[in-house]
Amino acid sequence: MAYSDKVIDHYQNPKNVGTLDKSKQNVGTGLVGAPECGDVMRLQIEVDDNGLIKDAKFKTFGCGSAIASSSLATEWLKGKTVDEAVKIDNMEIVEELHLPPVKIHCSVLAEDAIKAAVNDYRKKNGLQELKFEESVVH
């Protein structure tokens, strides 16, 4: 299977690889996936006083498409509000990276990671956790 140029670029030059201090109140951490399933994504956001995401970091265990999906997600998250962040749809990632059907689950995982990070942030800050509909592809 050939990868799209965008997947290859994110794989070779991943954006925002790293770790934020998860003990900080303004940092939300989402850890999704499972080692047995072959992909684990950890996505973190750091939110400023105005509710804007000022930094985002990821680490991913997975295939090139999973790495690219999370790298792209962190790029998109920066500068968005927390409310805008949860509106990122996995299909936008699929389109941007030209993921084939067999790799759609990578984009779903990235979407789940964003939601998990946002909810972690909300929980830490005394906000009610958002409920999401089950993602389409599992």
Partner 1 sequence: MSRFAVNFVVGQIYNQIIMLKFPIYLDHNATTPCDPRVVEAMIPYFTNSFGNAASRNHPFGWQAEEAVDYAREQVAKLIGADPKEIIFTSGATEADNLAIKGVFEMYASKGNHIISCNIEHKAVLDTCKHIEKEGGEVTYLKVNPDGLIDMKELEAAIKPTTILIAIMYANNEIGTVMPMKEISALAKKKGILVFSDATQAVGKIPVDVNKDGIDLMAFTAHKMYGPKGVGALYVRRKNPRVKVTAQMDGGGHERGMRSGTLNVPGIVGFGKACEICMNEMEEETKRISALRDKLETALMKTEEAYINGSTQHRLPHVTNISFKYVEGEGLLMGFNKDIAVSSGSACTSASLEPSYVLKALGLGDDLAHSSLRFGLGRFTTEDQIDYTVEAVTKTVNKLREMSPLWEMYKEGIDMNSIEWAHH
Residues with active-site annotation: 37, 106
- Shortest distance (Å) from residue 65 CB to partner 1: 8
- Could you say whether residue 64 binds partner 1 (CB under 8 A)? yes
Q: Interface with partner 1 includes 51 (CB under 8 A)? A: no
- In the list 28, 62, 85, 99, the residue contacting partner 1 (rule: CB under 8 A) is 62
Distance CA 55, CA 29 (A): 12
**Nearest-approach distance from CB 126 to partner 1, in angstroms:** 23
17 near partner 1, rule: CB under 8 A = yes
**Which secondary-structure segment (H or E) carries 73?**
helix 64-77
**CA pair distance 88, 117, nearest whole angstrom:** 13
Separation of alpha carbons 108 and 138, rounded Å: 8
Task: Please report, as residue ranges, which positions from 96 to 135 form the binding site for partner 1 (by CB under 8 A).
Answer: 102, 105, 108-109, 112
Q: How far is CA 45 from the centre of its chain?
A: 9
- What CA–CA distance (Å, rounded) separates 122 from 119? 5
Tell the smallest beta-carbon distance from residue 53 to partner 1 (Å).
Answer: 19
Question: Is the CB of residue 66 less than 8 Å from the CB of residue 53?
Answer: no
| Residues within the interface to partner 1 (CB under 8 A) | 3, 8, 11, 14, 17, 19, 31-42, 59-64, 66-67, 102, 105, 108-109, 112, 138
